[in-house]
Every structure is written in structure tokens, then in C-alpha cells.
């Protein structure tokens, strides 16, 4: 199922099945609907307001993977652990991985969307886009959705500390037609 076809899914039923929640929190449903319609979104929600669910649920019900750009390895690990606990196939590419783990994650990224080894979510740091092998694979196997978590880091860290954040705008050229969602508190 593509992101566009996922619009026909009963989101309330999927919310209950995956997360055990009966109701969406304020604005979650509208954000998810916009993403499933292929629109870009900028989301400001308080900490603990349910931002992650807004990109994880579409990832879980759509073919193709959602690429999540996240600033911290610890945050990526927490998000991957939480997604996996809900039955969502999630992986991470970061500097903490052993070469075999990295190769396994890249294979999962390249897998056919319907296959057992395919990922629903892939978490990376913005510096990952400097990796030529990753960029090539991303062009061959573009994501269904791009989510920028902690989007305020683009302006806070992009100019001096982590200049790769400023290059995230290039993703729209690398992955044309892929909806982009930016999330911040």
C-alpha cells in the first residue's frame, strides 16, 4: 500500500491495533491525514504531545519506509525501541553501529516494501547524507515520507555546530514528490 492508498485505512482502528489508544490527541489526525494525502507539514506540539505517532502511524500502514532525521543517538535508540515495541519495523543508521549491523540496516532499507525484512522507519542523523553510499541508495530507494524530528535544531545548530542540518533542504531535490514533515516543540 502506498502512502496515497493508506488514506483509505481506518486510522482509528490502526491506532488501537498498533498503539492501544482509542483516540487521537489534538491535531494528530489532521497531521496524519495531510501526510497520507502527500502534503508537507510543519508541526508544533508540546513535548509529550504525540509528535512521533504522527509519522510512525503512516509508516506502519504504508508501503515504503519513512526516513526520520533525528539529532541524537540516544533519542534515535529510544524511538526505535518504542516503535519496535509496537510492532513497527524500525532501524537506525548511526556511528554506534558495528559494520555488520550497518550492512543489515542498509539491506533492510533496500528491501522490497512488502518483504519481511523491509523497514517501516529508518532513523538517521543529518550527517548521514554526507555518506555517498547512503545517498546513492536513497536515490535508488526513496522513502515514502521524510520526517525531521526536533526541527528547531536546523536553526539552532545548523550555522555553526552541525552545518549538515542546513543541507536538509536538498532532500526535496533528492526525493522529489516525497512529503516532508518537520516536528518541534
pLDDT tens for each residue of 54-77: 999 999 998 899 999 988 889 899
Q: Compute the average pLDDT of residues 95-103.
A: 91
> pTM score, two decimals?
0.87
| Res 182 pLDDT > 70 | yes
Domain locations along the chain: 3-184
| Res 4 pLDDT > 70 | no
CATH top class, domain 3-184:
alpha beta
The rounded Cα 37 to chain-centroid distance in angstroms is 16
Average pLDDT value for the chain: 86
Q: Compute the average pLDDT of residues 76-95.
A: 94
pLDDT recorded at residue 1: 40
Window from 17-31, 103-117, 127-141, 148-162 with minimum mean pLDDT? 148-162
pLDDT recorded at residue 42: 93
Amino acid at each position: 500500500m502506498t502512502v496515497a492508498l493508506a488514506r483509505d485505512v481506518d486510522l482509528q482502528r490502526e491506532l488501537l491495533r498498533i498503539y492501544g489508544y482509542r483516540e487521537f490527541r489534538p491535531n494528530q489526525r489532521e497531521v496524519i491525514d495531510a501526510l497520507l494525502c502527500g502534503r508537507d507539514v510543519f508541526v508544533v506540539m508540546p513535548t509529550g504531545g504525540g509528535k512521533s505517532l504522527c509519522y510512525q502511524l503512516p509508516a506502519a500502514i504504508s508501503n515504503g519506509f519513512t526516513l526520520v532525521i533525528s539529532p541524537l543517538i540516544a533519542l534515535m535508540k529510544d524511538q526505535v525501541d518504542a516503535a519496535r515495541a509496537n510492532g513497527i519495523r524500525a532501524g537506525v543508521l548511526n556511528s554506534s553501529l558495528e559494520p555488520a549491523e550497518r550492512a543489515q540496516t542498509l539491506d533492510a532499507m533496500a528491501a522490497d516494501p512488502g518483504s519481511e525484512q523491509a523497514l517501516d522507519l529508518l532513523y538517521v542523523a543529518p550527517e548521514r547524507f554526507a555518506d555517498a553510499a547512503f545517498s546513492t541508495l536513497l536515490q535508488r530507494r526513496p522513502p515514502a515520507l521524510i520526517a525531521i524530528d526536533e526541527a528547531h535544531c536546523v536553526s539552532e545548530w545548523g550555522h555553526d555546530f552541525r552545518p549538515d542540518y542546513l543541507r536538509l533542504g536538498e532532500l526535496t531535490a533528492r526525493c522529489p514528490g516525497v512529503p516532508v514533515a518537520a516536528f518541534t516543540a
